[in-house]
Amino acid sequence: MSASPNSTPVNVIAENEEQFRDFKLLNAVNDRYGGVIIEITEPMDSALFASLLRASIAQWRHQGKKGVWIKLPIQHANLVEAAVKVIYRLLQPNQAVLRAFLKNPEGFWYHHAEPNYLMLAYWIPESAHTLPANASHRVGIGAFVMNEKREVLVVQENTGRFWGTGVWKFPTGVVDEGEDLCTAAVREVKEETAIDTKFVEVLAFRYEICKQESEIEAAKWMPFDEYAAQPYVKNNDLSKYIADICLAKKERKYSGFAPVPSTSVFSNEKSYMYFNTYDLNGQ
């Protein structure tokens, strides 16, 4: 998937564009959705890269390709401008091509960036692109931990929205990249309270964008009834629902989603599937 001045030459003849004859193309691999992926691995002059890219797009257009992805490691950032400003007049000179390029005369756009690379994208067909947006969400967890004395593990923050309010809350945190929910829950409880726990199941899901809460002022075991009696829990619908779900679980009136190690047809790597094992097993 590398691109270099030693790319393989092929015959590319665009209508009335003889300059593409015997022109070298960028090395690329096909993706599963009718597009191509270029990953730059070697240094390259930006002018040469621009020429290779124009010829390559002409060939991919002729082949009916759709999305074009360019992965640029940070050490090859000099090629960004060349990709963004690819000139449409050097491609196949027909009205459909011109209309497509006029909609996006700057060529490639930024799709996403990571610490060590930038991903650029381009849509060849004369239609609205269907390229997926970059991942934009974080997953947070709240851990309901109860001991044999019917005490629930709660904490008070020394930063964040609950700092100084006197509210006792469940340990919470954010799932790390590539981390399973069950692992994250155990880890966050250990980090915030030094308590070792065993993950049982997912009791509920909710969706919200919020900042990470990682600093804790205090932690202790509290009778569940005392926790549920806090004005913040009683007067807040979301908190009350969570308390009700946790209590129903303790009284064996509710079953959530337990993690079961599994593999898939896509990968032999172990991962977790979450489902209601209680009802599935008829227990």
Task: Name residue 18's amino acid.
Answer: E
Active site residues: 191
What's phi and psi for 86, nearest 5 deg? Answer: -60, 135
The candidate with the shortest Cα–Cα distance to 249, out of 168, 140, 152, 162, is 152
Helix (H) or strand (E) holding 121: strand 117-123
Pairing of strands 109-114, 216-223: unpaired
DSSP3 helix / strand / coil % (the chain, rounded to 5): 30, 25, 45
> What values do phi and psi take at 237, rounded to 5?
-55, -45
Helix (H, G, I), strand (E, B) or coil at 226: helix
